[in-house]
């Protein structure tokens, strides 16, 4: 679903230790079937996507050695994460396939409702029992898991995104 197969940032411990709305990075690299990207972080303003990545690393990361992730990554304020999820939904509307939009909206919805960070697929499983259109979520999951064919109805996708965007805007 993503245009990239592998995407990662190299960051310093100092960057991870200090809360920031756009954390600094040393290097960002993404590889894919047709697109590749390498961004040198020197002189770069930072990356707002790292707000979500840092929060996930803090909450769900596993140390291979050294201190636990909770000691490395600073807590990210909920308000920053709500804003980051809203920004990711705006980006997805413009640039991402419908499956990504649906699954990303589900993950964002779960965070807005119960402050739990989870994968897109886990968010979809959670959201399908709450959604007015669980068949849309089921179809997106099927496409992601099985590579099933068939486009998603743009009006139904838009309705889900509008619902989640309103929840994120009203969440505190």
Residue that is last in its domain, among 72, 105, 124: 72
Domain extent, residue 165, equals 78-170
Q: Residues 86, 161: one domain?
A: yes
| Distance (Å) of CA 18 to CA 41, 103, 143 | 17, 30, 38
Residues 75, 19 contacting (CB under 8 angstroms): yes
User: Which residues are CB-neighbours of 25 under 8 A, at least 6 positions away?
Assistant: 9, 10, 11, 15, 41, 44, 46, 47, 50
pLDDT tens for the 172 residues of the chain, in order: 455 578 899 999 999 999 999 999 999 998 877 778 899 999 899 999 899 999 999 999 999 999 999 999 999 999 999 999 999 999 999 999 999 999 999 999 999 999 999 999 999 999 999 999 999 999 999 999 888 777 899 999 999 999 999 999 999 8
| Six-digit token string for 47 | 């990356």
Q: Residues 47, 17: one domain?
A: yes
Q: Residues 86, 59: one domain?
A: no
| Six-digit token string for 73 | 């990554």
Q: Residues 60, 94: one domain?
A: no
Q: Residues 99, 137: one domain?
A: yes
Total structural domains within the chain = 2
**Is residue 1 domain-resident?**
no
């Amino acid at each position: 679903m993503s245009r990239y197969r592998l995407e990662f940032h190299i960051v310093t411990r100092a960057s991870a230790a200090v809360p920031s709305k756009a954390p600094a990075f040393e290097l960002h690299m993404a590889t894919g079937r047709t697109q590749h990207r390498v961004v040198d972080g020197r002189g770069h303003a930072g990356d707002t996507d790292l707000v979500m990545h840092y929060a996930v690393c803090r909450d769900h990361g596993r140390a291979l050695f050294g201190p636990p992730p909770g000691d490395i990554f600073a807590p990210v304020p909920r308000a920053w994460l709500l804003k980051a999820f809203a920004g990711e939904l705006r980006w997805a509307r413009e640039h991402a396939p419908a499956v990504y939009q649906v699954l990303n909206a589900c993950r964002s919805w779960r965070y807005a409702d119960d402050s739990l960070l989870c994968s897109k697929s886990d968010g979809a499983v959670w959201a399908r029992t709450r959604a007015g259109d669980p068949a849309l979520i089921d179809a997106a999951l099927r496409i992601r898991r099985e590579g099933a064919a068939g486009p998603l109805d743009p009006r139904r996708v838009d309705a889900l995104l509008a619902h989640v965007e309103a929840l994120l805007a009203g969440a505190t």
